[in-house]
A and B are shown apart, each in its own frame.
Chain A
Amino acid sequence: MTKPTSIERDPLYVVAPPIVTDKTKRFGHIIVWGTFTLMFLLAIIQFLNTNEHITFGFKTWRPVLYAYILWACAIGYSRVLIYGEKGKRTLFVFPAVMFILSIVIFPMLFGLYISFTDWNLSSIDGREFNGLDNFYQMISDPYYWNALKNMIYYVLAVLVEFAIAFLLALLLNSQIRGRKFFRIAFLIPLMLSPVAVSWMVGKSMLEQRFGPVANLGRFLGWETPTFFSSPEIARLTMMCMDAWTFIPLMIIMLLAGLQALPKEVLEAAKVDGANKWTMFKNIIFPIMLPVSLTTLVIRIIFKLKLADIIIIVTAGGPGGATDSVTSFIVREYRDRSNVGYGTLLSFVYLILIIIFMTILIRFVNRWLQRAA
């Protein structure tokens, strides 16, 4: 019996396909398993050598990496050998899949493993599996819980930011003089690096002795205008600086929504005699709800990553009042080389973010459905 060609199997082909035979299929399987075996053997040898179970091995893990790349190439080639035209189509996706596997999935799994180890870079014994010890340490770590508590304050501040952003977006959407200028001017903080904001605003403009904002405070009768001395004021100042940077992002999104509002509806409301507040309350805000909620969700995601301005301006102080989870993890990981614990904290935070965002998005969706 003659073997069917790819043409017969797949009438949608456009390129002359190679003939897939048992021989090519066999060869495809051989190169995949052959390269996999090679990679596996090299990894085993290197693992045993690294752990001083055998005396021979390579100086680095690089040969294993090369074997992995060879295996990946072999898998790609084998798709064509085994599946012909369909295999070729797979090749369009395959590099991306391997890329994600290599730089996202594998590091994440490795990170997960590290989070269950006691790994201080200065430890002479290196990395050691310690089960749930890091988790128990986290449970009793007042710094982590303090940072989480601060994150609640920071996230709640997004509501205020949203109100300000909405107001500014409405202004920029109206026919005010210099509208184009203000649209660009309002975007400038977003263009600035948080590091620049930290130095320009946090360390210069708000400087107690010579900062212009402090001078203004003195001019207005505030005897000792200090912005980072008391825990509450320091946290509030941090919120303001972060808000100043990211409110423009919310403005852009909200402005886009406002400009897409159906003009007929607004004009009809005007004709019916609705005033501005009524229009906003009964027409603009409800129609803007999907955009608003998307804006809030995105802003909260940004907020949960808050770290740079805290690290630079207050280093988490005074007394941990401005610490965020990320800034605390940075200290634990970078300054204290506590890789195992730092990684666990990151994973727990990631899980908390995923749970929080899932609940938030579900809540938002339900609300939107109800509103519709």
Chain B
Amino acid sequence: MKKSLYEYAIAKSKASRRTFLKGAAGAGAVAAMSGGLSSVATNAFGASDLRSAILKIPGVGVGSPGDADWQKVGEMCLGGTKERVKEGEFNGVEISFLGLDSLNLHNMLHRGFLKPWEKYTGAKIKWIDLAQADYNARLQQSIATGTVDFDIVQSGAPYEGDLCGKGLTSEMPGWVADQIDLADYVGYLQAPTGTWDGKTYRISIDGDCHNFNYRTDYFENEDLAKAWKDEGHSGNWEVPTTWQKVTEVSKFLKGKKHAGFPAYGYLDVQKGWGGFGFYFLGSIATAYAKHPDSPAFLFEPETMKPMVNNPAWVRAIQDVLDRRDCQPPDQINADPGVTGFSQFLAGTGSMVSWWGDVGSNANTSDESLVQGNVGFDILPGSDDVYNWKTGKWETLSSGPNYAPNMAYIGWGLYCMKTVDMDTTKRKAAWSACAHIGGKDLSLWMSMYPSGFQPYRNSHFNIDEWVGAGYTNAFASDYLASEADSYNHPNAAIEPRIPGIFQYYSIAEDELSKIYAGEYDAQTGADNIAAAWDKITDQIGRENQIKLYKASLGL
């Protein structure tokens, strides 16, 4: 749960200083625009006594939870542990846990949740807290130098290539899968995510994907609607659902005004962000490059030949180039932090792709100037899709090709191989992870500030959110925007291969040159492909192919 989202709910319960999409009608409109709440079960789950009880700690509207609350929730959710572990069974066992301390969340919560677990089982946890910026280097150095000094690691699925692919992680015992109810995960977090060579290694504690955020007031603007018609554009003035339309709308808005200010269309990321900026090109490219018949969209599985210079990716790059003239000034210096927060939330631009943060902050952050004027959808699609196997563009009989980008795939917990040498320690480590990744406790995390987003089907029960104190409109809209992306049958799931951020990082350097006008899209894409080939050769092509195929479940 994003902290800001929670703070919004608190503020909302205390005083109606903001309205969110002006009630149920707005929510209904948003739901309709986002393809319906197809994945959101409004009444599928009855809130159990335990679930409704923990959701009242401390209760939405009575301030942010603290260590005492985390401990209390942790203690109440010990049922799964007690069924499988005897009291004091892990006396004398010490486990080291490497995680993040971002925003005083993540490991701070884990500490509280695991205190009652430690008391009950007798195990002791040694905490290793890392800042987000230090995380990648610390993890890679530990792996490369063989100095894995942690038993449990909080890690993202993109690192599974580095961790599971190198045999550093412990396979999940069957009893853990039962305790955490693996089948409850949303579609894209099911296998092959979290698995390697058919074995399961991950307990998910988070979900991540890119959504499409747009300004509802732009698309309700009658002057713009009239101008759209007058200029002879096809269709109504409405939220674009394909990238072709996104570009058309962006070009249409050039030079126009909305609410007295210059109007802008889609906000393109044109500056690197430590590798994370590449996800934003991916969010455009997946619609073109991710064919429903194949899970691959970055590399060809049999050869690791980069697809980044195929016509689909080049078209995505060309889209960005085509929209350069209708971007706000200085867009070449806009990284995702700028497009999401400095621009979109601050009122510049009408469309942006981002993780759930923009959606939640749009109506919750004091810095947001677009409260009540933001709608959410899955990422736009494309009228045609490139089939990399045949080398041809295809128009699907089902309509536009949609392929939501599951960027980063979310955080999970992994036990390291080091615990396998001691059966008691192994059980203790997995028990600790299962406690944090438990079904009930994870619901609490998805509703209260934790740094983690909903990731289980059972998290999308709106009644439980309403029961905890959220408004129906807020919960419906927020959850629908995520669920429809998570559960999309053609979701683009990034490959979990070693060094994936190396590929993204060098791509950002080349994209920067393309956007600066030093190369055309094809030349730049060829350069990226050449650099990616070099990385693949350096890391080991044969092994990368093997791991890539494994990560795709092929």
Query: Which residues does A use to contact B, with CB under 8 Å?
Result: 60, 118-126, 143, 207-210, 224-229, 231, 234, 314-321, 331, 334-339
Contact = CB atoms under 8 A, between A and B. Distances in A.
Contacts of B505: 331, 335-336
Nearest to B534: A137
B506 A336 contact: yes
Nearest to B146: A50
B259 interface: no
A330 to B, nearest CB: 10
Contact of A122 (B140, B272, B335): B140
Interface residues of B, number: 46
Contacts of A314: 271, 333
Contact of B516 (A60, A120, A319): A319
Contact of B539 (A124, A143, A227): A124
A317 B515 CA distance: 10
B551 to A, nearest CB: 14
B42 interface: no
Task: State the majority secondary structure of interface residues on A.
Answer: loop
B237 interface: no
Nearest to A143: B509
Q: Chain B CB within 10 Å — which of A60, A320, A336 has the most?
A: A336
Nearest to A128: B538
Given A319-B517, A335-B502, 8 more contacts: A121-B144, A123-B499, A208-B328, A208-B333, A231-B516, A319-B512, A319-B513, A336-B506
Given A118-B538, A143-B509, A335-B501, A317 B517 contact: no
Contact of B330 (A126, A143, A228, A315): A228
Interface in B498-554: 498-499, 501-502, 505-506, 508-509, 512-513, 515-518, 535, 538-540, 543
B275 interface: yes
A124 B333 contact: no
Contacts of B272: 315-317
A226 B330 contact: yes
B240 to A, nearest CB: 24
Given A317-B516, A319-B517, A120 B502 contact: yes
Contacts of B294: none
Interface of B: 136-137, 140-141, 143-144, 147, 161-162, 165-166, 271-275, 328-333, 335, 342-343, 346, 348, 498-499, 501-502, 505-506, 508-509, 512-513, 515-518, 535, 538-540, 543
A78 to B, nearest CB: 34
A122 B498 contact: yes
A336 B502 contact: yes
A8 B505 CA distance: 70
B329 A228 contact: no
B348 A335 contact: no
B536 to A, nearest CB: 10
A120 B274 contact: no
The 5 lowest CB-CB distance pairs between A and B, nearest first, are A319-B516, A122-B499, A226-B330, A335-B505, A121-B144
A213 to B, nearest CB: 13
B329 A318 contact: no
Contact of B329 (A126, A229, A338): A229
Contacts of B501: 335-336
A245 to B, nearest CB: 20
Contacts of B274: 335
A316 B512 contact: yes
Q: Chain A CB within 10 Å — which of B143, B346, B498, B538 has the most?
A: B538
Given A126-B144, A331-B509, A318 B332 contact: yes
9 contacts: A60-B147, A118-B538, A125-B540, A208-B333, A209-B328, A209-B348, A316-B272, A321-B516, A337-B144
Given A124-B166, A124-B498, A337-B140, A317 B512 contact: yes
A221 to B, nearest CB: 15
Q: Chain B CB within 10 Å — which of A120, A231, A334 has the most?
A: A120
B119 to A, nearest CB: 31
B509 A337 contact: no
Contacts of B517: 319
A361 B386 CA distance: 61
Q: Chain B CB within 10 Å — which of A118, A122, A317 has the most?
A: A122
Contacts of B271: 314-315, 317-318
Nearest to A226: B330
Nearest to B343: A209
Contacts of B512: 315-320
Contacts of A210: 346
Given A121-B140, A121-B144, A335-B275, A320 B332 contact: no
A258 B273 CA distance: 46
B332 A229 contact: yes
A119 B540 CA distance: 12
B198 to A, nearest CB: 20
A197 B141 CA distance: 30
A122 B333 contact: no
Nearest to B542: A124
A338 B140 CA distance: 11
A208 B330 contact: yes
A335 B137 CA distance: 8
B499 A337 contact: yes
Contacts of A331: 505, 509
A109 to B, nearest CB: 18
A257 to B, nearest CB: 39
Given A121-B143, A123-B540, A228-B330, A319 B506 contact: no
B329 A120 contact: no
B509 A320 contact: yes
A315 B539 contact: no
B329 A208 contact: yes
A124 B137 contact: no
A317 to B, nearest CB: 4
A226 B346 CA distance: 18
Given A208-B330, A231-B516, A318-B512, A120 B539 contact: yes
